[in-house]
């Protein structure tokens, strides 16, 4: 990296997987990079509380772009973070006979279009299903990740790259200072940079000052962690494509996550982009809400399709604010948000719908930096 390139600097607000990964990408492009993390550790929120799935495209048969990008990024992500990968289980996908938004034949055809492998399920797997409610069953190629291992990988990479990280650094307002940006923190500290990247996921609209708001939908989401019955050990299942369920290994706890389209969300709300009032902090609402598990409803419904699930042992639930772009509701797609702010063009809002979206962010980031070098 030459002296000229090092004259540019960037501050990233948010020390989740996306914020840390962008810090590394920007260092590769020659910028001095500082990461501001509100908590006292990296990867503590959305990077930790999720189903730990590296998507292979199977989950989005109604969104060609999301499914195709997932398939395109799958092997790349798995190889880049191999020490964090868990792929020693059998991944099953199934389509329900009723209430599914795709048929079994449509699902098969869609996976062929995006190059996502499907194999016929074995007789032993087929015996696990209630075929009064199930239309199709396949073995797919999908893996999980251990967020705690992933955190150590990116922490070490950032240390080696010379990325500066500040913890308990709660960015409050952004203002323009000539050609540069200035961030003011809650504790009175300030940081100046040529570029600011807002990678705070649910907290995108918390940053005040000369900043436009982004339309967002939030959900209070519960992920139940369970121990599977013996006959389901080594398996993972996702029922498509409607008000159904999914269970995946959760390697960091040595347990299995169970989610349900109907019962995982406990509440939902939208953020308005209008008005001058400060945006509500979704994490403050998260803290106020009483969290009572829906596990009994999740497992009861899931066991109708896969009766052995009735033998699960509940361990605990993990909770988080899940945030989506409202346009995702039409086709269940997960486009990335990568948007330069209209009021402060050297501020970029970034939010990925899935962890493998990070490579799509990289494809946006490089030309932006080259264009403005």
The tens digit of pLDDT for each residue in 144-165 reads 999 999 999 999 999 999 999 9
Residue-level pLDDT at 333:
54
Closest CA to 204 of 16, 63, 48: 16
How far is residue 10's CA from residue 73's CA, in Å, rounded to a whole number? 26
- Whether 2 shows a pLDDT value over 50: the answer reads no
Across 72-97, b (16+ Cβ under 10 Å) vs e yields ebbeebbeebeebbbeebebbbbbbe
- Kindly give the pairing relationship between strand 190-193 and strand 171-177: unpaired
Q: What is the pLDDT of residues 178-229, one digit of tens each?
A: 889 999 999 999 999 999 999 999 999 999 999 999 989 999 999 999 999 9
Q: How far from chain centre, in Å, is Cα 176?
A: 30
Q: What is the pLDDT of residues 316-348, one digit of tens each?
A: 999 999 998 886 555 555 678 999 999 999 999
- Whether 1 shows a pLDDT value over 90: the answer reads no
Specify burial of residue 312 (Cβ count, 10 A radius: 0-12, 13-18, 19+): buried
Residue-level pLDDT at 325:
87
Closest CA to 100 of 214, 244, 253, 217: 244
Residue-level pLDDT at 273:
74
Q: What is the pLDDT of residues 89-144, one digit of tens each?
A: 999 999 999 999 999 999 999 999 999 999 999 999 999 999 999 999 999 999 99
Provide the whole-model pTM.
Answer: 0.92
How far is residue 121's CA from residue 324's CA, in Å, rounded to a whole number? 33
How far is residue 220's CA from residue 215's CA, in Å, rounded to a whole number? 17
The band of 4, judged by pLDDT with boundaries at 50, 70 and 90, is: very low
- Whether 301 shows a pLDDT value over 60: the answer reads yes
- Whether 239 shows a pLDDT value over 80: the answer reads yes
Residue 183 in contact with residue 314, Cβ under 8 Å?
Answer: no
- What percent of the chain shows pLDDT beyond 90? 80
CA distances (Å), 290 to each of 195, 286, 293, in order? 39, 9, 10
- What percent of the chain shows pLDDT beyond 70? 94
* Mean pLDDT (the chain, rounded): 92
- Whether 29 shows a pLDDT value over 70: the answer reads yes
């Amino acid at each position: 990296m030459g002296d000229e390139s090092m004259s540019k600097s960037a501050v990233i607000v948010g020390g989740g997987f996306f914020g840390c990964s962008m810090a590394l990408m920007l260092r590769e492009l020659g910028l001095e990079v500082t990461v501001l993390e509100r908590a006292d550790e990296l990867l503590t929120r959305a990077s930790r509380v999720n189903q730990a799935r590296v998507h292979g495209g199977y989950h989005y048969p109604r969104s060609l772009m999301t499914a195709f990008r997932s398939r395109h990024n799958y092997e790349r992500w798995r190889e880049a973070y191999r020490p964090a990968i868990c792929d020693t289980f059998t991944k099953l996908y199934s389509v329900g006979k009723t209430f599914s938004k795709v048929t079994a034949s449509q699902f098969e055809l869609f996976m062929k279009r995006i190059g996502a492998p499907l194999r016929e399920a074995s007789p032993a797997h087929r015996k696990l299903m209630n075929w009064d409610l199930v239309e199709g069953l396949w073995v797919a190629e999908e893996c999980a990740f251990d967020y705690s291992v992933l955190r150590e990988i990116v922490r070490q990479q950032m240390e080696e790259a010379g990325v500066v990280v500040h913890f308990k650094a709660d960015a409050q307002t952004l203002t323009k200072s000539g050609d540069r940006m200035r961030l003011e923190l809650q504790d009175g500290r300030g940081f100046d940079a040529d570029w600011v990247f807002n990678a705070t996921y649910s907290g995108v609209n918390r940053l005040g000052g000369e900043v436009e708001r982004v339309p967002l939908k939030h959900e209070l989401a519960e992920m139940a962690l369970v121990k599977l019955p013996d006959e389901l050990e080594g398996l993972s299942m996702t029922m498509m494509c409607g008000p159904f369920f999914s269970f995946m290994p959760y390697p960091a706890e040595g347990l299995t996550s169970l989610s349900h389209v109907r019962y995982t969300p406990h509440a939902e709300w939208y953020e308005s982009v209008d008005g001058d009032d400060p945006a509500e902090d979704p994490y403050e609402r998260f803290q106020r809400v009483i969290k009572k598990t829906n596990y009994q409803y999740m497992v009861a419904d899931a066991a109708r399709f896969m009766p052995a699930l009735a033998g699960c042992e509940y361990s605990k639930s993990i909770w988080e604010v899940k945030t989506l772009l409202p346009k995702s509701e039409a086709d269940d797609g997960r486009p990335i948000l990568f948007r330069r702010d209209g009021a402060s063009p050297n501020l970029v809002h970034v939010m990925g719908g899935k962890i493998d979206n990070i490579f799509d962010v990289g494809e946006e980031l490089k030309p932006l930096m080259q264009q403005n070098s």
